[in-house]
Structure 1
Amino acid sequence: MPVNLSPPTTLLPVNGVELATVAAGIRYQERDDLVLITLCEGTRVAAVFTQNKCCAAPVIVAKQHLAQAETRALLINSGNANAVTGEQGLSDAMLSCERVASSLEIKANQVLPFSTGVIGEPLNMAALLSGVDYAVPRLAADEWLSAASGIMTTDTVPKGISVVIQINGQDVTITGISKGSGMICPNMATMLAYVVTDADIAQGDLESLLSAATQKSFNRITVDSDTSTNDALVLAATGRSATGHLSSEEELDSFSSALEEVLVHLATAIIRDGEGATKFVSIEVLGGLKEEDCRTIAYDIAHSPLVKTALYASDPNWGRILMALGKSSVDSLEMAKVDIFINGVALIEHGQPASSYSEEAGQAVFQQEEITISINLNTGASCFNVWTSDLSHDYVSINADYRS
């Protein structure tokens, strides 16, 4: 079960966006696995993609199409990643775009394809193309909840959020969905996420806002240190809100804050639903000379299997945290200055066991489902935070059985 995460009960439609979700049978039977999202003419689209060098065919095609034409449709299939599938995979990704384009009377390069699932197997194109044909006449504005389920793979719950803010006295809506549970580590992206708004935002501003919000959300999560071959984050702005074009610093700041709220929710939902996760863990590193130093240390701890298994066992073995900290490559780290707290309980002060610490106090906080590890380096003013999960027996079982 996910950690303090419930599926969304309401996701608001966004003017200019329609969706359809179908059970195409691409890999699994009687399970929604294909989502089509259409965007009205004039929609501006920004996206960030995985930096894994083994990127999948749909990533390659989506990048090309995004640079070539105005995006009018997104096609997402689950169950098969269409990754490491060679020329056939590229051809299949293109064919899926052509089928959508033909049905919607748009151009093929106005369609962005996305896939998630098993790597190294060819797509079931007969099922996918049939699913497209079934989806097009069923497009509707209020299908966000179905879409959130349709993009899932090993997720246990759908993930989504809607936020409405007022700018210039008019409502601006942002709705987003994401999927991801394992193979989660930053370097954008580490999942699939689709966020749309009716705001009217210039292309350059949209790209800048997405980049900044990504750095504070999806690029601060990790389940297992593995960056996916496929994944992407898309932000689309239809411009259909009555608020008018957002251009002033105040307007863009208001939208930026709401966008960050949406992305942080979607990103942390992935951690709360991490494969086999029983703990939601925040790692805060502060007092560093540089932000990059704090980032490095945060991930050194978040990626340590020994730290993560101790968290799963609710074992207050703070020596593992010190071990992960001590192996860091950060040259400015001075262990004699370090303070460490868990949910406010002092573990280490100035590099030594805190005089106030007791095993009972440590046990009490390690047993909690939500844990914050705070590390003060006491060498500067920089900081960085990461969200991660523990490492359980179920994580091994899920991934051992994934292709069966």
Structure 2
Amino acid sequence: MFTSQNEATSTFHILENGNIASAKGFTAGGLHCGIRKSKIDFGWFYSDVAAQVAGVYTTNLFQAAPLKVTQESIATKNELQAVVVNSGVANACTGEKGLQDAYDMRKLFAETVGVEEHLAAVASTGLIGELLPMEKIQYGINQVHEATHQGAGKFESAILTTDTKEKGIAVEVEIDGQPVTIGGAAKGSGMIHPNMATMLGFITTDANIESGELSNVLKALTNQSFNMITVDGDTSTNDMVLVMANGKAENQRLTPHHAEWSKFYQALQFVCEYLAKEIARDGEGASKLVEVNVQGAKTEASASAIAKSIISSNLVKTAIHGADANWGRIITAIGYSGESLDPDQVSILLGDIEVVKNGIPVTFDEEEAASYLKQEEVTIYAKLGEGNETATAWGCDLSYEYVRINASYRT
């Protein structure tokens, strides 16, 4: 279950201006290399020592070249030390030439920052079907060490596409008497759907933890965070979440048997869910963050499926955008979720406003409901009355602006 910010701060604290380079030993930066017209489009971060690593990837069958190269790097020793990212061109559906370009990008970057090639990873985001402009990539790599290009804020900007803002955070938790820091950055705005999407997430920590344990916890937390967001129902070709742990906090090695494992888990959970919610909040054309909280399901899987069904419904999303308390669309989304339940036990609330009780509509103040739905954050509660399991999903409203952005994406 998600640890709220108020609960979280009893076990860890959020660092003011915290970012992907807040953990010991990590450096980040970004610059404009010319792929995009004027925006920063080339970024990197790296550790001064090799780090244990875990990753999760898009479920789209068309995996872009950078994902293949990154997975190959990780498979070598379950370690990474450096990551390089470009925006503007996805290097997806580009055949053998695109794959070779991804290898070359990795090699050139690894040589420049002084790490072994298999310890470097690459990521790309942007237009599908276009080859990387390798002369511009080379130009960017040549400037990695320039002082003017250093800073986590520049990395956060470099990975954006249609995003309207940077997404970064860091928290600190004490383990074995040592401060352990977890930082992260992400991008994502459109083509966001449960089970990964056009999204990149990068998390760094100075915790001492092996890749196997890191992989287990990342998979579990991804299913509660990055796999529980949607913007438009499309799943992309490029995207991944990577977690790197370089051990520089010098705590005792973390495992589920460690006395303070739960503190680390909660801190990492908070970072994952914060980044996921920021992606949902920044959905293309979005004006509000929508949270769906399903309670009383028979199983966690059932609760998750129903939450995803509601948050993915375009009819629900457009109703939220129009501040229309059309609870029938929510009921419909529950009904086609594929999950077995008793409709006569279902209750629906919009915030604190109950609109359906035990399958029957109840009288409510339409103006009050409309006023609530106009807020920047909206929560839909679905109480099923079937059991004790819960799940939460996040998304956004679907607006006229979303259509405008995507109707002219290539132009």
Q: Distance in 2 between matches of 1:319 and 1:51?
A: 31
Which residue of structure 1 lines up, in the alignment, with residue 49 of structure 2?
A: 41
Out of 147-156 and 235-244, give the one that drifted further. Answer: 235-244
**CA contact under 8 A between 2:80 and 2:244: conserved in structure 1?**
no
Out of 157-166 and 312-321, give the one that drifted further. Answer: 312-321
After superposition, the C-alpha distances for 1:221-253 in whole angstroms (9 at most, x for unaligned) are 111121121011111111111434334432222
Which residue of structure 1 lines up, in the alignment, with residue 377 of structure 2?
A: 370
**CA contact under 8 A between 2:228 and 2:308: conserved in structure 1?**
no
Which residue of structure 2 lines up, in the alignment, with residue 31 of structure 1?
A: 39
Letter aligned with residue 85 of structure 2: I
Q: Distance in 1 between matches of 2:70 and 2:148?
A: 22
Report 1:259-338 matches (<5 A): 259-330=268-339, 332-338=340-346
From 116, 132, 139, the counterpart of 1:107: 116
1:41 is paired with a residue whose SS is: strand
**CA contact under 8 A between 1:287 and 1:378: conserved in structure 2?**
yes
Identity of aligned residues (%): 40
Letter aligned with residue 75 of structure 2: A
2:260 is paired with a residue whose SS is: helix
From 166, 176, 189, the counterpart of 2:184: 176
- The gaps in structure 1 that reach 5 residues or longer are 1-7
Q: Distance in 1 between matches of 2:244 and 2:182?
A: 10
Q: Distance in 2 between matches of 1:189 and 1:250?
A: 35
Q: Distance in 1 between matches of 2:401 and 2:62?
A: 27
1:364 is paired with a residue whose SS is: helix
Which residue of structure 2 lines up, in the alignment, with residue 233 of structure 1?
A: 241
Which residue of structure 1 lines up, in the alignment, with residue 5 of structure 2?
A: none
Which residue of structure 2 lines up, in the alignment, with residue 3 of structure 1?
A: none
Q: Distance in 2 between matches of 1:253 and 1:236?
A: 19
Letter aligned with residue 80 of structure 1: V
Taking structure 1 as reference, are residues 385 and 351 closer, same or farther at Cα in structure 2, changes over 3 Å only? Answer: same
From 7, 10, 13, the counterpart of 2:22: 13
Report 1:199-218 matches (<5 A): 199-218=207-226
Cα RMSD for the two superposed structures = 1.8
Letter aligned with residue 292 of structure 1: A
Which residue of structure 1 lines up, in the alignment, with residue 267 of structure 2?
A: 258
Report 1:141-152 matches (<5 A): 143-152=151-160
Which residue of structure 2 lines up, in the alignment, with residue 352 of structure 1?
A: 360
Taking structure 1 as reference, are residues 233 and 139 closer, same or farther at Cα in structure 2, changes over 3 Å only? Answer: farther
Q: Distance in 1 between matches of 2:251 and 2:97?
A: 45
Q: TM-score, normalised by structure 2?
A: 0.91
2:38 is paired with a residue whose SS is: coil
Q: Distance in 1 between matches of 2:28 and 2:367?
A: 52
Letter aligned with residue 351 of structure 2: N
After superposition, the C-alpha distances for 1:245-266 in whole angstroms (9 at most, x for unaligned) are 3344322221111001111111
2:153 is paired with a residue whose SS is: helix
The answer to whether 1:380 aligns with 2:409 is no
From 120, 139, 153, the counterpart of 1:130: 139
After superposition, the C-alpha distances for 1:109-144 in whole angstroms (9 at most, x for unaligned) are 22111000010111111101111011145498x711
The number of residues matched between the two structures is 393
Q: Distance in 2 between matches of 1:267 and 1:389?
A: 12
Which residue of structure 1 lines up, in the alignment, with residue 368 of structure 2?
A: 361
1:315 is paired with a residue whose SS is: coil
Letter aligned with residue 81 of structure 2: R
Which residue of structure 2 lines up, in the alignment, with residue 391 of structure 1?
A: 398
Q: Distance in 2 between matches of 1:33 and 1:183?
A: 19
**CA contact under 8 A between 2:323 and 2:374: conserved in structure 1?**
yes
From 154, 170, 173, the counterpart of 2:162: 154
Letter aligned with residue 360 of structure 1: E
Out of 313-322 and 230-239, give the one that drifted further. Answer: 313-322
Q: Distance in 1 between matches of 2:351 and 2:373?
A: 9
Q: Distance in 1 between matches of 2:116 and 2:334?
A: 52
Taking structure 1 as reference, are residues 267 and 75 closer, same or farther at Cα in structure 2, changes over 3 Å only? Answer: same
2:72 is paired with a residue whose SS is: helix
**CA contact under 8 A between 2:23 and 2:180: conserved in structure 1?**
no
- The gaps in structure 2 that reach 5 residues or longer are 1-15
Please report how far the alpha carbon of residue 358 of structure 1 lies from its aligned counterpart in structure 2 after TM superposition: 2.7
Taking structure 1 as reference, are residues 190 and 123 closer, same or farther at Cα in structure 2, changes over 3 Å only? Answer: closer
Letter aligned with residue 395 of structure 1: Y
Report 1:65-84 matches (<5 A): 65-69=73-77, 70-84=79-93
In the TM superposition, structure 1's runs of 4+ consecutive aligned residues that sit over 4 Å from their partners are 137-140
**CA contact under 8 A between 1:81 and 1:230: conserved in structure 2?**
yes
